[in-house]
A and B are shown apart, each in its own frame.
Chain A
Amino acid sequence: MGVGTRLRVNETRPRLLFQPWPLSLLGLSLLLATPIFVVFSSMFFPAGDIWTHLLDTVFARYVRNSLALMLGVSIGVLALGILPAWLVTNYRFPGSKIFEWALLLPLAIPAYIIAYTYTGMLDVAGPLQSSLREIFGWHYGEYWFPEIRSLGGAVAMLSLVFYPYVYLLARAAFAEQSGSVLEVARSLGSSRRAAFFRVALPLARPAIVVGLSIALMETLADYGTMQYFGLSTFTTGIYRTWNGLGSSVGAAQLSALLLGFVFILVSIENWSRKQSQFFNTGSRVHLGNAHKLTGGGLLVAYTACGLPVLFGFVVPFVQLVIWATITFDTVMSGDFAGYLLNSVSLAAVTSLLALTFALFIAYGRRLAPSFASSFAARILGLGYALPGTVVAIGVLLPFAWLDNRVSAFMLARFDLSTGLLLSGTAFILVFAYLVRFLPIAMNTVDAGLAKIRPSMDEAGHSLGLSSGKILRRVHMPMMRGSLVTALLLVFVDVLKELPATLLLRPFNFNTLAIRTYELANEERLADAAGPALAIVLASLIPVILLSRSLRQARRAPGEVSITQSMESNK
């Protein structure tokens, strides 16, 4: 890998603050950040004595559990994600090509659903422990069995479905490291293992950190699993404060605190990424270079690649299929095709918009980097860590206000009430999705764009191309892999999204996730398996497309491919 110069586009051309691009960029960022400002504004409202109560009783537990969870999931996703990524990019063994995409499959399973399935199997009343008791004549308490609904269990569940983020980014990073760097390391006497620890891993670190931060944000925002396991975290605390204690201000202030914490984390991450910026200039690994594994190495490879897929996908999938077969008659009840259509069209529209905006924002910042734009981007990035309901309220509040003002104005002026124009439509639902999921698209696109050397922009300009044309003709083809990744990650996330959909959807509008939730909420897990399975199957298609397109992007000559987030121009 050649280490290039740092990106300094702003020095090659004069910075124009009042160009339309940076202005509309700032406008868009502010608009999408409205819900986040709404949350922060709660800081200025009195919350009564709620804080005295929280601090006296549960607050310490919320913080402790959330931190423990983050620590556990960090270890989990790193352990599950990095090694397989290294193995499938640098070694060949029977089935390695299958593992390359199969390792992404757990992305298709929502966290609360994997929690339901494992609880169904491993709980004290589940089939496994029941048969143990029956076979050996044991009674409860006479034998040891790990408690699935525990902090450790939650860490395991979340790690199993979130490790693909680390895997995806690490694999891209490893794949783009040119073989020559590793060869040099080896010719200097390093073993393969040493080359991994001393060269490949440090070079891939920024990409891995991006994957980790995505996984951690998902962890913080998770409500379903924690509530089901009876674990009090920051997010369950927000709900409890809002619903149980009836204090929406207190809940919003808790959310603001959560965001503040994430903001610090994100800043640290940015800072650490700035410390290591590289441009990819060398050639990539040729598949022919891959080392063939035998014997013990083979065993390691099958364990490292097989276990995440087995426990993250195959086992829960089979359990869902079993349940769905038992309840087949009820599975197809309700407007099943309608749910599917709603889910998929929401996901499609949102992912396209997210990609467009992410591209617009990332490119705008490349053209005219400024403190304001990078700060705005960082604020936007917070949405991903917010619990869906908090985002939903943050979206509904300003839009309903606006609708009511417009309606009042029209009534006074033209004696015509326009009612709610935007609230209660799919529009604000998509808006809320964007607030929540744009960060994931931005991260991915940013990373892809930053890999392209500024000399490309300069070459384009010298040929008389406009900025827009350079983006379309030069950058977009070069970063196709990143674009596809962004598109599909958002697509899958929207399919799985629940809380914002519940609160903001229009009348008579149901999705697969809602259907699953409502049945599971009535404790009819077996009945919920049908729609849950449909979510998994619908997400499988984009996951498979994703892995195929990544492979193609890698093979295509002359492309600087995929999601390597080695650096960003933040």
Chain B
Amino acid sequence: MFANKLLTLAFGVLAAGLVSAAEVNVYSARSEELIKPALDRFTEETGIEVNLITESADALIRRIELEGVNSPADVLLTVDAGRLFRAEEAGILASVDSEVLRENIPAAYRHPEGKWFGLSLRSRVIMFDKSRVSADEIADYEDLADPKWKRQICIRSSGNIYNQSLLASMIEHRGEEATEAWAEGLVANLARRPQGGDRDQIRAVVAGQCKLAVANTYYLAGMINSGVAEDVAVAEQIGVLWPNQDDRGAHMNVSGAGMIKTSKNQDEARQLIEFLSGDFAQQWYSEVNNEYSVRADIPVSKTLQGFGTFKADTLNLEALGRHNAAAVRLADRAGWQ
């Protein structure tokens, strides 16, 4: 009698294990803090469980390659276009055919065959100390190499992906030679050896170590909303200059997602990417992390509105990935540490 019950129970557990709930496995270069709430919402809406690993995109791409056909990964999330390109080049992404994604995401921000989809935009701009620099003293990225800014510029290491993408966009627009000359001029104008992160450059401007800094917009927005008194005070002193408004526009990067070729949960993976392009996730990106939505119908966050409107560079984002290695070599040659 008892054995019978036990047997039934055992089979019940086994069956439950076999008919496991729908799930999707996410390898994310976006940190847990900045993706989990959106994923939780997805689970709530669809009942699909989401399993998450976070790590840098390069490491995740390598892990997927090594795991081969048996990789559990279904979706790869990255925080820059260069890594989407690299994942595609590594041959680990599959095309997703989705009416929803085609409708939500403008063609400029997705792969023509649906190998990856841009989900949010960030711009890398010039920031200045409002009390010491007026906005008409500088107009373009190119001006950062002007000797009049000698020892006045703070920028982080060229090891950082956002600087590599900025260089890559310049290579695409102006060619490698001109970009290298620009990088040399920039290095000559540095107030200090590149160090720290974007926020550190912003702080150094207000501390008086430099007059100009190059940083992503959401870092400044993050400081404004941080609740840390010192950071708020620093951010208030900073002006945002949108570069190259008379020609190509401000450099943009994109965070995005792609489905893995060996995915065993293709349907769930597609649903997740669709969800991330949907109203809730797009508003969430905009409000919580102060990024620009890829969709025109999603309002820009209040903090970002304070930075004004601008003309964005509409460069084909694949160029950022294509020129990445060239950008790093060029930085090495120019002595940009």
Q: Is the CB of B58 within 8 A of A507?
A: no
B159 interface residue per 8 A CB criterion: yes
Residues of B within 8 A of A415 (CB): none
- Mark each residue of chain A from 124 to 166: 1 if its CB lies under 8 Å from any CB of chain B, else 0: 1101011001000001110000010110000000000000000
A389 interface residue per 8 A CB criterion: yes
Q: Is the CB of B337 within 8 A of A522?
A: no
Question: Chain B CB within 10 Å — which of A240, A333, A522 has the most?
Answer: A522
Could you tell me the distance in whole angstroms from the C-beta of B326 to the nearest C-beta in chain A?
10
Could you tell me the distance in whole angstroms from the C-beta of B188 to the nearest C-beta in chain A?
17
Q: Is the CB of A125 within 8 A of B86?
A: no
Q: Is the CB of B208 within 8 A of A133?
A: yes
Interface residues of B in 207-229 (CB under 8 A from A): 207-209, 219, 222, 226-228
Contact of A420 (CB < 8 Å), options: B70, B199, B328: B70
Contact of A230 (CB < 8 Å), options: B69, B71, B156: B156
Q: Is the CB of B194 within 8 A of A230?
A: yes
Contact of B324 (CB < 8 Å), options: A232, A246, A510, A518: A246
Q: Is the CB of A123 within 8 A of B332?
A: no
- Mark each residue of chain B from 100 to 112: 1 if its CB lies under 8 Å from any CB of chain A, else 0: 0000000000000
Contact of A518 (CB < 8 Å), options: B25, B54, B198, B206: B54
Residue of A nearest to B233 (CB): A130
Residues of B within 8 A of A524 (CB): 222, 226
| Contact segment of A173-181, A195-203, A392-400 | A392-400
- Mark each residue of chain A from 504 to 517: 1 if its CB lies under 8 Å from any CB of chain B, else 0: 01111110001100
Query: Size class of A's contact patch?
Result: 35 or more
- Mark each residue of chain A from 432 to 466: 1 if its CB lies under 8 Å from any CB of chain B, else 0: 00000000000000000000000000000000000
- Mark each residue of chain B from 52 to 69: 1 if its CB lies under 8 Å from any CB of chain A, else 0: 111110110011001111
Contact of A125 (CB < 8 Å), options: B62, B200, B325: B200
Q: Is the CB of A503 within 8 A of B59?
A: yes
B248 interface residue per 8 A CB criterion: no
Q: Is the CB of A244 within 8 A of B325?
A: yes
Q: Is the CB of A149 within 8 A of B54?
A: no
- Measured in the bound complex, the distance between the Cα atoms of B222 and A524 in whole Å is 9
- Mark each residue of chain A from 233 to 252: 1 if its CB lies under 8 Å from any CB of chain B, else 0: 00010011011111110000
Contact of B159 (CB < 8 Å), options: A123, A236, A327, A519: A236
Residue of B nearest to A240 (CB): B159
- Measured in the bound complex, the distance between the Cα atoms of B157 and A228 in whole Å is 9
Residues of B within 8 A of A334 (CB): 32-33
B51 interface residue per 8 A CB criterion: yes
Contact of A507 (CB < 8 Å), options: B51, B69, B230, B324: B51
A184 interface residue per 8 A CB criterion: no
A521 interface residue per 8 A CB criterion: yes
Contact of B53 (CB < 8 Å), options: A119, A123, A236, A507: A507
A11 interface residue per 8 A CB criterion: no
Residues of B within 8 A of A243 (CB): 56, 58, 161
Q: Is the CB of B193 within 8 A of A518?
A: no
B195 interface residue per 8 A CB criterion: yes
Q: Is the CB of B196 within 8 A of A230?
A: yes
Q: Is the CB of B324 within 8 A of A244?
A: yes
Q: Is the CB of B195 within 8 A of A420?
A: no
B204 interface residue per 8 A CB criterion: yes
- Mark each residue of chain B from 10 to 54: 1 if its CB lies under 8 Å from any CB of chain A, else 0: 000000000000000100000111100000000000000001111
- Measured in the bound complex, the distance between the Cα atoms of B87 and A354 in whole Å is 37
Q: Is the CB of A125 within 8 A of B228?
A: no
- Measured in the bound complex, the distance between the Cα atoms of B43 and A350 in whole Å is 34
A24 interface residue per 8 A CB criterion: no
Residues of A within 8 A of B124 (CB): none
Residues of B within 8 A of A283 (CB): none
Interface residues of B in 180-205 (CB under 8 A from A): 192-200, 203-204
- Measured in the bound complex, the distance between the Cα atoms of B235 and A523 in whole Å is 14
Q: Is the CB of A244 within 8 A of B159?
A: yes
Residues of A within 8 A of B203 (CB): 123-125
Q: Is the CB of A246 within 8 A of B86?
A: yes
Q: Is the CB of A397 within 8 A of B66?
A: yes
Binding site for B on A (CB under 8 A): 53, 56-58, 61, 119, 123-125, 127, 129-130, 133, 139-141, 147, 149-150, 227-230, 232, 236, 239-240, 242-248, 326-327, 333-334, 389, 392-393, 396-397, 400-401, 403-404, 407, 417, 419-420, 423-424, 502-503, 505-510, 514-515, 518-519, 521-524, 526
Please list 6 pairs of residues, one from A and one from B, whose beta carbons are closer than 8 Å in the complex, sorted by A's number. A248-B62, A334-B32, A420-B67, A420-B70, A420-B72, A515-B32
